[in-house]
A and B are shown apart, each in its own frame.
Chain A
Amino acid sequence: MKDKLKPYILLSPVLLIIALVFLSGIIMAIVQSFGYFRVAGLNEFTLRYYREVLGSDSFLSSLSFSLYTSLVSSIVAVIFGVLLANTIAKYKNGNNVIKYLYGIPIIVPHIVSVLLVYNILSNTGVLPRILYGIGIINSASEFPSLLYDENGIGIIITYLWKEIPFVAFTTYTVLARISDEFLEVASDLGATNKQAFFHVTLPLLMPSILSSFIIIFAFSFGAYEVPLLLGPTKPKALAVQAFIEYSNPVLENRPYAMVINVIITFISFILASIYYRLFQKIHKY
């Protein structure tokens, strides 16, 4: 009996914190998103706020902007991350290379990587200065606006700077364990390097590729600082929009913020559960 209880006792401190802060935070957000917020005099459960938010154009453009920046950055990060991991794996002392490459973006927080991108890509950044110096552009204003723009280039590059090494690291640990014998067998059987990569290496990497994709997608989809600092005034990223609604001094406005929060969480969860299903399928083979 005592032994049966033991794992629960060991887990109780973590679960207590998760229940008190994390779970109740989510539950509060959900409850308020249905329009129940007693302090503001809202006592009824209603779908009104969902209907209003989902029907508004500004929300839909925020949603597509957030989806666009996080999907593009996550997909590109995965492709380049795998390419980088595969490149490093060909080296003898790849372990050292990956250790340092991975470390750099980890210790640099997102707000600093925003500054890195700003220093280089803003209208008076280093890149337009170089282009001016070699005569490609004639003034700062001729440089295309990559920041604060609807195309979200600045946001995407900021994420890429942090995420490519992250993907490279997670896939590299698996890649280093795939024995060379597999690849030798493949090439003995007449596979080219390319074929060996796509038919042997890639399928083995798939679980770690997918899991790192989910992690970086969910992060960028719900991120606040990066789109706040580098995003356009319109459309705003979902988290930024949610906080604007939240900081409205009129408390009756809170449900709108919570609806956006719940939708961000919901979409991230759907993606994670698709991953979970896929992973189980892959595991069967």
Chain B
Amino acid sequence: MSAVGPGQLRARQRPLLILSIAGVRAASALCLAWPLASLVAASGIGARTQGDRALFEPGGYLLLEVVRLQGPALLAAARGLLPLLGMGLLLSALCNAGLLLGLNQSERIRASELTARALRVAPRLLLLGAGASLLQIVLGLIGAALAGTVPEPLAKPLAATLGQVAVWLAIGILVGAVGGLADVARASLIRHEVPLPQALAHASQLAWRRPALSCFGWLPYAFPLALSFALAARIAEACDVSQAGAWRVALVFVVHQLVIVIAVALRAAWYARALRLTASETLRQS
């Protein structure tokens, strides 16, 4: 197996891999959504002539009624699904490892081999992800504490809000930078096949040399994703599934699945970018 040259590191080289990962995610989501949807159907909604169109009818009487009456059961079921959610998240992390590995390879790689290699690097990647998440949570808590200290003069509500926004923006930038750096460290770990401390050291060096790209290189991929979320919400609204017609549900389903595929593709594109970055900048040993 040989690593692909930096010039060929492109997400579009791996369409099947992207679709496979979207498929795995869909399978995991199916396990989570099915029991909850069954509870909703059993609430009495499924017995109505119009079926669960009633949930989306203007006014929201039946939607709120199902939430009111089935809320405790749905919450209990959701709690019961937490282990499954945990496994789903682990599977997602494994998929992300596979995505990085697949993008980094010049040859086609068999699924079994990709899985085996992903399993090998997964502990390091999970440790990295857990550390980054912990740091982001700590930053969030610091942000909350700082936001609480922003003075709120009665006559300057705009200034007070801007003060809060400034605090949260600063925290958001730091949280985003931590996420970006963690991804770059992941890419370094895969690209150079180095232990976690060296991958982190490489990411730090990159952050020093090319801070914008290392910390916020993901931003150009986040914008189209946000746009696709918003567009999908608009389309779903326009389809108005409270009206009769199976095509409405089918269309919304297709649009939503397209968003998921786009999300995976954009992640792949960012990973490819991160791999290119780590490939072009060598690790300096101290």
Q: Do A and B come from one complex?
A: no
On B, residues with C-beta under 8 Å from A are none
On A, residues with C-beta under 8 Å from B are none
